[in-house]
Amino acid sequence: MNSSMNGKLLEIRDLSAGYSASVNIINDITMWVEDGEILTLIGPNGAGKSTLIKCLCGLLRYSSGSILFKQKEINGLKTHQIISQSIAYVPQTNNVFSRLSVEHNLDLGSLAHPQSRDQRLVHVFELFPDLKRYLGKKAGILSGGQRQMLAIARALMSSPKLLLLDEPSAGLSPLFRRQVFEHVTKIKETGVTVVMVEQNAKAALKISDRGIILAEGKLRLEGTAEEVLQSSEIGEIYFGAQNGSDA
Amino acid sequence: MIQFLIDGLVNGSIIALGAVGLSISYNVMRFANFAQGEVMAVGAYVSLGVLALMGLGIGKMGPVSFGWPLLVSILFSIMMTSIVVLITDLLVFRRLRDKDSSRITFIIVAFGISLIARNVIHLAAGGDQQFYSFYIPRAVQVFEGLKIVPDDMLILLITVLCVVLMHTFLNRTLIGKKMRSVAENPSLARVIGINVDQVIRGSWILGASLAAVSGTLHAHITQLDPEMGFELILPMFAALIVGGVTSIYGAVLGGLLIGMSEAIAVAIGWSSYRGAVSFLILILVLILRPHGILGEKERDA
């Protein structure tokens, strides 16, 4: 799959961050995200993938380096200020408000652009028609796969330019896993840039333009999805640990 | 007995309003606000101050022994208590949130603030009991064996109005929806772009407003004294836990149950044990439903 190469939407320069001042989880990460592409971050557990995503949406302050979104530094901004710049993040777990209805969940996604709520609703129902049936129901009754769909739909309600997905296929049945990747492809076709952290490396890279391998908090490889899939690093770092099994 | 139940319903409705305020702070800010009783006391004393400044007494509305002056004093009280809690949040609780302090730290600090507030009230207003009015409202005979004080009916009506407004606010307004989302999962609320600090300020105002209303109404049917907050906090916590801490409707139900159970205790001659009866109910409910009547299992988000 070819990158659209429309320019850098997100740039990360020499980024180091961790959960305590003395220990960094990620070190000197330099990478970028092209406008309109799907970029997959892969790596073994503890590689720093989720830490990196948390830095991108302001949940974690970084100790050094910089993050530029649309050429503007986002350091020092609070999470809601970063999210209001058309970045949407879907956490891996606890990603819907289970006591609220499906409709309320979707409404909360359109906080930044309430005037385009109805228009966005039509758009997300085109992608996730199943959600229409559950509109008035509490999100807590949905299955794991349906919750993931709702979480992604809510993120799309904010008309994001950049969508950050943290292991969207984790814990899902093979059917829902396939559906998630199909949806991500469709989302990209609407002009949304997607950065996806995934453990199902092969399936994720198949729909991606580029891939990045992180290991022990450092960037080990960056390239097109094809290059990353064919690389020896992926065997050593990732597939080796899983005996080559993948979705 | 019906007479006692009506008394219980009125006391319970005041406890319920305070408990709803507690429920909001517990769910949105994630700690048991032991200073909520003192917020009620501050509200009651502000009303007293406004009434004194206006110099018109508490007014009269038909058979009801209070009128617009007391209602105006409640509005001023809502404003003043909201300002007081927002300043307290800015100076104390916000700093604790920024430092990611533990829940126990919040609780101890709230307890400390309640002690400070109680003593400030003592210094400012004196330790003697005070009254909005010395007029004793007359009961009206509804039918044989049942007399109702019109004030009680209006207090019940005000409580119902507050709960309906609260329900509408939480379900129909944007800030209400944000508040519910922060109450359920603050981390997720933050990452979908909700300004959690703004929501917390809103919930302080909401809790303080309810405390101002319930504190003033409580002072109207009883009296004011600096210890009133401390006396109210235990039944309010009992109401909150009986109803289920995760549900504001549970807090209303719990408040009414506690009020009624205290009234029944008085009716059967256990007036010395009225406080103990509410805690007996609390224990029974928790054995049968550990999350309270309408509560759900809590999740640390």
Q: Do A108 and B301 touch (CB under 8 A)?
A: no
Select from A159, A154, A188, A168 the least CA-distant residue to A49.
A168
What's chain B's average pLDDT? Answer: 90
Task: For B185, name the nearest residue in chain A, comparing CA atoms only.
Answer: A97
A80 and A114 in a single domain? The answer is no
Query: Which of A83, A97, A99 minimises the CB distance to B193?
Result: A83
Q: CA-CA distance, A67 to A6, in Å (whole number)?
A: 19
In this structure, is residue A168 part of a structural domain?
yes
Q: Are A175 and A144 in contact (CB under 8 A)?
A: no
Query: Which of B181, B195, B196 minimises the CB distance to A108?
Result: B181
Q: Are B242 and B285 in contact (CB under 8 A)?
A: yes
A78 and A189 in a single domain? The answer is yes
A81 and A146 in a single domain? The answer is no
A155 neighbourhood in chain B, CB within 8 Å: 192
> CB atoms < 10 A from the CB of B63, how many?
14
Residue A236 is predicted with a pLDDT of 73
Residue type, position A71, single letter? Q
Domain count, chain A: 2
Could you tell me the CA-to-CA distances from A180 to A151, A189, B41, B132, B136 in Å, in that order? Answer: 11, 14, 55, 65, 69
Task: For A94, name the nearest residue in chain B, comparing CA atoms only.
Answer: B188
In this structure, is residue A247 part of a structural domain?
no
pLDDT at B208 over 80: yes
A12 and A74 in a single domain? The answer is yes
Task: For A104, name the nearest residue in chain B, comparing CA atoms only.
Answer: B177
Could you tell me the pTM of the whole model?
0.84
In this structure, is residue A81 part of a structural domain?
yes
DSSP string, chain A: -------EEEEEEEEEE-SSSS--SEEEEEEEEETT-EEEEE-STTSSHHHHHHHHTTSS-EEEEEEEETTEE-TT--HHHHHTTTEEEE-SSS-S-TTSBHHHHHHHHTSS-GGGHHHHHHHHHHH-GGGGGGTTSBGGGS-HHHHHHHHHHHHHTT--SEEEEESTTTT--HHHHHHHHHHHHHHHHTT-EEEEE-S-HHHHHHT-SEEEEEETTEEEEEEEHHHHHH-HHIIIIIIHHHTT---
A79 and A166 in a single domain? The answer is yes
Query: Which of A80, A89, A107 minimises the CB distance to B177?
Result: A107
A223 and A238 in a single domain? The answer is yes
A209 and A111 in a single domain? The answer is no
Rg (Cα) of chain A, in Å, rounded? 17
In this structure, is residue A177 part of a structural domain?
yes
Q: Do B174 and A89 touch (CB under 8 A)?
A: no
Query: Which of A59, A84, A96 minimises the CB distance to B193?
Result: A84
A57 and A107 in a single domain? The answer is no
Residue B91 to chain A, least CA–CA distance (Å): 20
In this structure, is residue A211 part of a structural domain?
yes
Q: Which two tokens stand for residue B10?
A: 């009125």
Residue A80 to chain B, least CA–CA distance (Å): 4
> Across chain B, which distance is largest between two alpha carbons, in Å?
62
Contact with chain A for residue B194, Cβ under 8 A:
yes
A16 and A125 in a single domain? The answer is no
The predicted complex's ipTM stands at: 0.85
Which residue range(s) make up the domain with A200?
8-86+160-242
CATH number for position A167: 3.40.50.300
> CB atoms < 10 A from the CB of B269, how many?
8
- pLDDT per residue as tens, chain A (247 positions): 444 445 899 999 999 999 887 889 999 999 999 999 999 999 888 889 989 999 999 888 888 999 999 999 998 899 999 998 999 999 988 999 998 999 999 999 988 788 888 999 999 999 999 899 999 999 999 999 999 999 999 999 999 999 999 999 988 888 888 999 999 999 999 999 999 999 888 899 999 999 999 998 999 999 999 999 888 877 776 555 444 444 3
A107 and A177 in a single domain? The answer is no
In this structure, is residue A208 part of a structural domain?
yes
In this structure, is residue A107 part of a structural domain?
yes
A130 and A182 in a single domain? The answer is no
A221 and A178 in a single domain? The answer is yes
Contact with chain A for residue B99, Cβ under 8 A:
no
Q: Are B224 and B130 in contact (CB under 8 A)?
A: yes
Q: CA-CA distance, A209 to B128, in Å (whole number)?
A: 76
Domain boundary among A129, A155, A181: A155
**Domain boundaries defined on chain B:** 2-230
